[in-house]
Amino acid sequence: MKRLNILLMLILSLTSLNLLAESSTKPFAEKKVVLQISDPNPFKQTLVLNVANNLIKHYGPDKVDVEIVAFGPGLRLLMDGNVNQSRISGLSNNGVRFAACKNTIAAFSKNLGHKPKLVKQATPVSAGVVRIIDLASEGYTLVKP
């Protein structure tokens, strides 16, 4: 039993370190920004990508750390086949991360009758709002275009 407890504590520690490493992939970034997309409107989806692109252009890819968090109807931005898929790929190549809310994925799965296919750049997170709160507590500025 003692070995099991030690093993569980080790696993939890490694998981925590891994999550911390994921959230700060650009340790020398001067600015850290989390962009929220929770709207199904294609105009808003394009706008959030434009903001990410403008941040990269202005500060340079190594000087700004950007993560786009999609939840609720905004998850459509990260669904495979979205018209912005090539832009998502390009932004990802410049270090922009994309987080997809698992709660929303579960709700979409229930409504669709199957799990929605997401773009390969999307990383599922337990809850989109929780992800935003966690990033904000790490010094990220929340922007909701």
pLDDT in tens, 135-145: 999 999 999 99
Pairwise CA distance, residues 74 & 115, whole Å? 16
Q: What is the pLDDT of residues 45-73, one digit of tens each?
A: 999 999 999 999 999 999 999 999 999 99
Show the CA angle centred on residue 127, arms to residues 124 and 130, nearest 5°: 125
Q: How confident is the model at residue 27 (pLDDT cuts 50, 70, 90)?
A: confident
Residue 141 dihedral angles phi and psi, to the nearest 5°? -95, 125
Indicate the fold that domain 29-143 takes in CATH: Hypothetical Protein Ychn; Chain: A, (3.40.1260)
Comparing 109 with 4, the larger pLDDT belongs to 109
pLDDT of residue 83: 94
